[in-house]
């Protein structure tokens, strides 16, 4: 959660504590398939601390390790194609420069998506390491042999269509991005429309679409109402004060905490998770800068009965989930 978005949610969390019960608007409808007895192991960017972010290699390794769902981010190229990348620029993870929106798909396909990935932490995409630290650098371009069982293409920037074809039976979470957090709604809405055109004929029911911008979610839902969505910042905020999070919402995707100035405010509480379930919504967590993506935190989320944990370390999370058991108080 960033900038004004974090402030808006934090203020409304406080307001929610004093909101009259009469304002509560429960969700309508049938049982929600995203509400789970064991939280989903959701591989954030395919597990960006364990594997190169948002690559087919990462997605396949995460699924083999036990990930239940893939979380990925999409941007739209200059020629209107949907590619999978967390950032809106190429600089941090690839050997390219500039924005996704300024490049054609052909240009992006030439890039090495694992160029800056190092298995050493804490920053796995630090550009200041020795060349030997970047074990997968050059696989995509043919300068290094791929690991056994993989091809060079697994280390390039994939399209969303490629990922969906490669994982027809694995749930996928798709986040709509714009160029910058401060960008006007226009680019987010345009990207939502391109995504809607791609997904309008799919028969898959194991997808969730999300964006920080509620306007993008609302537009996507207008175009493809049968695909589940998670609300943007404004939708979450409305629900926290007793209103509706928006049409088509099946799950909340929120941090554990958010910070406003020097105050750390907790979003994921036992009361909020329980209320979401009563209203018919699933609760899935991602990690903000103050939330530690580690075993002790995962165990506490299990005890809170959350329905999904978006982790940068899906291999490690799966070990914890298999070793433990769901809290006795959960469904």
Contact 282/34 with Cβ under 8 angstroms? Answer: yes
Q: Coil, helix or strand for 149? A: coil
Residues identified as active-site: 44, 86
**Cβ-proximal residues to 58 (8 Å cutoff; 6+ apart), any chain:** 43, 45, 46, 47, 48, 50, 51, 52
**Strand-pair partners of 208:** 173, 228
DSSP state letter for 253: E
d(CA 219, CA 316): 36
Q: How many CB atoms lie within 10 A of CB 91?
A: 13
* CA-to-CA dists, residue 52 to 90, 108, 263, angstroms: 14, 16, 34
Length of the chain equals 331
Backbone angles phi, psi at 260, to 5 degrees: -125, 110
Handedness of CA 211, 192, 46, 129 (dihedral sign): negative
Closest CA to 218 of 242, 237, 236, 192: 192
d(CA 155, CA 274): 41
């Amino acid at each position: 959660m960033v900038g004004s978005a974090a402030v808006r949610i934090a203020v409304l969390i406080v307001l929610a504590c004093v909101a009259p019960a009469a304002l509560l608007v429960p969700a309508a409808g049938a049982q929600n398939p995203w509400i789970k007895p064991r939280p989903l192991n959701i591989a954030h960017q395919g597990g960006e601390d364990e594997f190169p972010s948002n690559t087919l290699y990462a997605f396949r390794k995460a699924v083999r390790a036990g990930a239940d769902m893939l979380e990925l981010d999409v941007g739209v190229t200059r020629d209107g194609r949907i590619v999978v990348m967390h950032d809106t620029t190429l600089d941090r993870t690839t050997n390219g420069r500039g924005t996704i929106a300024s490049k054609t798909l052909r240009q992006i396909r030439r890039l090495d998506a694992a160029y800056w990935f190092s298995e050493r932490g804490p920053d796995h995409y630090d550009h200041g390491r020795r060349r030997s630290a970047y074990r997968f650098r050059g696989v995509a371009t043919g300068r290094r042999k791929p690991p056994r069982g993989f091809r060079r293409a697994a280390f390039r920037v994939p399209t969303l269509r490629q990922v969906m074809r490669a994982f027809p039976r694995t749930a996928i979470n798709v986040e709509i991005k714009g160029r910058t957090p401060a960008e006007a709604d226009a680019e987010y809405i345009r990207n939502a429309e391109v995504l809607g055109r791609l997904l309008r004929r799919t028969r898959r029911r194991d997808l969730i679409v999300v964006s920080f911008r509620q306007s993008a979610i609302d537009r996507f839902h207008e175009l493809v109402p049968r695909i589940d969505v998670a609300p943007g910042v404004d939708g979450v905020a409305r629900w926290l004060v007793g209103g509706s999070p928006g049409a088509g919402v099946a799950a909340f995707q929120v941090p554990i905490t958010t910070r406003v100035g020097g105050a750390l405010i907790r979003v994921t509480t036992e009361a909020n998770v329980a209320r979401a379930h009563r209203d018919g919504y699933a609760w899935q967590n991602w990690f903000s800068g103050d939330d530690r993506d580690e075993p002790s935190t995962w165990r506490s989320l299990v005890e809170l009965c959350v329905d999904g944990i978006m982790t940068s370390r899906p291999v490690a999370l799966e070990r914890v989930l298999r070793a433990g058991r769901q809290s006795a108080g959960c469904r």
